[in-house]
Amino acid sequence: MNKMSLQGRFRVEHYDRDGQLKATYRVPNGIVDVGLNKILDDMFSGGTQSATWYIGLVDNSGWTAFANADTMASHGGWSESTAYTETARQTWTEGGASSRSITNASTVDFSINATVTLKGIFIVDNGTKSGTSGTLWSTAAFASTVAAVSGDTLKITYTVSG
């Protein structure tokens, strides 16, 4: 008998304006209470499945902590970074599940347009940049902050496995 223990992880490739790889980050995520409740409701209680999930960036400014009770409407320990040129949070286009895992086949790219220090990443089912609605699935903090400048690109792969 298999036990289910959902976990996720991000792989982030950080490129400079000339396309040179600056760093690679591997970041495990925590699944927040509302995210886990969403999975349980959708699977067992007739809930409405979210058609699309989006990746957002977490600003280091004002960051104190992530909490299991965080939601998009209430997350006092962090704020979203909008220091990228795309007009919305970027879509996580997942493939089909296989071998107890699901991931995106191509990276989710953010074109950084300012000098910013990033603390982490989050997943939500609302693509509105700076939006406060939708179901927050997960949050993840970098082991140390990530300094990015205008012209940098972050290429993100996200995998959930159980």
- What is the pTM (predicted TM-score) of this model? 0.93
Residue with tokens 């179901």: 135
Q: Per-residue b/e over 79-109, b at no fewer than 16 CB within 10 Å? A: ebbbbbeeeebbebeeeeeeeeebbbeebbe
The amino acid present at 18, given as its one-letter code, is D
CB 158 within 8 A of CB 105: no
Over residues 24-54, the pLDDT tens digits come to 999 999 889 988 888 888 878 888 888 899 9
73: left (phi over 0), alpha (psi -120 to 50) or beta: alpha
pLDDT in tens, 114-131: 999 999 999 999 999 999
